[in-house]
Structure 1
Amino acid sequence: MKLLNDSQYDEALILVDSLRIVYRSEDSLVLAKKIKTEEDVYVHECDSIVLYQLEWLRIQSLIGQKKYNEVRESLEQYRLQEGDYRDKADSLWMLLR
């Protein structure tokens, strides 16, 4: 958030993409388990929330970089997901289509 607030969009995107890789990797390991514990289910739910939030930050970074085609592509699916940013994402997608 600090990088976005400071208009450092390139750095923000690099950080967000790096974090997305880490969380996706962790989540993949959890999902690959044949037998999942309560902790595994909890970790998966937490990872899903973080990934959802990171995708919104990624979209904000792309907007700052004026990469509107990538923003549209990201919003295409993101606006259909349940979450805190759904309405904002849908409105933004309508503006950019």
Structure 2
Amino acid sequence: MTQRTIKVGMLMAKESPDLISLVGYQTSASAVLIGLDRINAENLLPNINFTFTWYFDECQPYKTAGYLTKLILIDKVDVVFGPTCPEWKARKISGGIVL
């Protein structure tokens, strides 16, 4: 059977003290690994491989818009977890490029 790859994009915080406990890299990356371990242990998604690309938007709308655009147009991800803060401007800017 052919293996399918799902590209996952993630936006999170790495340096913002107010955000680290909520959407910080260490806790978010750990949660992803725990989820992947369970998926593999229970054979929930056979023949599915996940790849991850992440950027640190630090809840800055200009970073969020830029990174979302990059994830969609350059990294060609299938799904995005984020943005760190739901700024309508970032969604509007990057959402306009989705076909």
Q: Shared topology, TM-score over 0.5?
A: no
Higher strand share goes to which structure?
Answer: 2
Query: Quick check: which one's helix share is greater?
Result: 1
In the superposition, the TM-score normalised over structure 1's length comes to 0.30
